[in-house]
């Protein structure tokens, strides 16, 4: 285990958090990695528009993320992408950047039941509409899908108790 409590990752790895809104991705990442390691589309949307919920800012937020992603991977710095990463083309793009920089790409899959995500989402400052949570549920890939896409490792985060999310590595 890494000193931060997360599984070991090779130096310079790209770690992609995969899961629906309210699954605990940002909380999980903040507890394990310094802010400088985490790239978050919500933060870049907020910087561009004063609203993390303003989806019209996603293209510019993605450009900012790509600039920082390339800068970090070029320097062999561990980088965590904190977004839903539910769309296959988004994951393919991130995998392509890792391959370009010859860095290992690891996925952390948040397998959190919809009802729990609904409860966590309701307590958030920025509540995602329920129909979006349901749509995201349909997009959640399996660990096998993520491995087939090209991720070197897939860690699965499941609910082990009401207050705690624990990672478990699923093969290499």
| The predicted structure's pLDDT at residue 160 | 53
Q: How far apart are CA 149 and CA 152, in angstroms?
A: 9
Verdict on whether the full-model pTM lies above 0.75: yes
Q: Is residue 3 included in any domain, yes or no? A: no
Question: For residue 126, what is the domain's CATH number?
Answer: 3.40.50.300
Q: Give the contacts of 98 (CB within 8 A, at least 6 positions apart).
A: 14, 73, 104, 105
| The predicted structure's pLDDT at residue 53 | 80
Q: How many domains does the chain have?
A: 1
Q: Is residue 80 included in any domain, yes or no? A: yes
| The predicted structure's pLDDT at residue 107 | 97
| The predicted structure's pLDDT at residue 52 | 85
Q: How many helices (H) and strands (E) does the chain have?
A: 7, 6
Tokens of 135: 């749509």
Q: How far apart are CA 68 and CA 63, in angstroms?
A: 9
| The predicted structure's pLDDT at residue 163 | 43
Length of the chain: 172
Q: Is residue 4 included in any domain, yes or no? A: no
Residue 60 — left, alpha, or beta (φ > 0 → left; ψ -120 to 50 → alpha)? alpha
Q: How far apart are CA 29 and CA 80, in angstroms?
A: 8
| The predicted structure's pLDDT at residue 167 | 54
pLDDT, tens digit, 9 for 90 and up, residues 82-111: 999 999 999 999 999 999 999 999 999 999
Q: Is residue 62 included in any domain, yes or no? A: yes
Mark the ranges of the chain whose per-residue pLDDT is less than 70.
1-7, 159-172
Q: Residue 65: give the domain boundaries.
A: 14-170
Q: Is residue 1 included in any domain, yes or no? A: no
């Amino acid at each position: 285990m890494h000193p931060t409590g997360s599984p070991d990752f090779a130096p310079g790895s790209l770690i992609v958090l995969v899961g629906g809104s309210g699954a605990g991705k940002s909380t999980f990442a903040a507890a394990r990695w310094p802010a400088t390691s985490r790239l978050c589309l919500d933060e870049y949307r907020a910087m561009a528009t004063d609203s993390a919920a303003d989806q019209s800012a996603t293209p510019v937020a993605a450009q900012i993320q790509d600039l920082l992603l390339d800068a970090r991977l070029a320097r062999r710095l561990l980088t965590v992408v904190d977004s839903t990463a539910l769309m296959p083309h988004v994951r393919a793009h991130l995998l392509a950047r890792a391959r370009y920089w010859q860095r290992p790409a690891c996925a952390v899959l948040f397998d959190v039941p919809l009802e729990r995500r609904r409860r966590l989402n309701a307590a958030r400052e920025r509540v995602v509409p329920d129909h979006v949570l349901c749509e995201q549920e349909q997009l959640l890939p399996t660990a096998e899908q993520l491995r087939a896409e090209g991720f070197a490792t897939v860690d699965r985060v499941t609910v082990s108790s009401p207050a705690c999310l624990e990672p478990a590595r699923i093969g290499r």
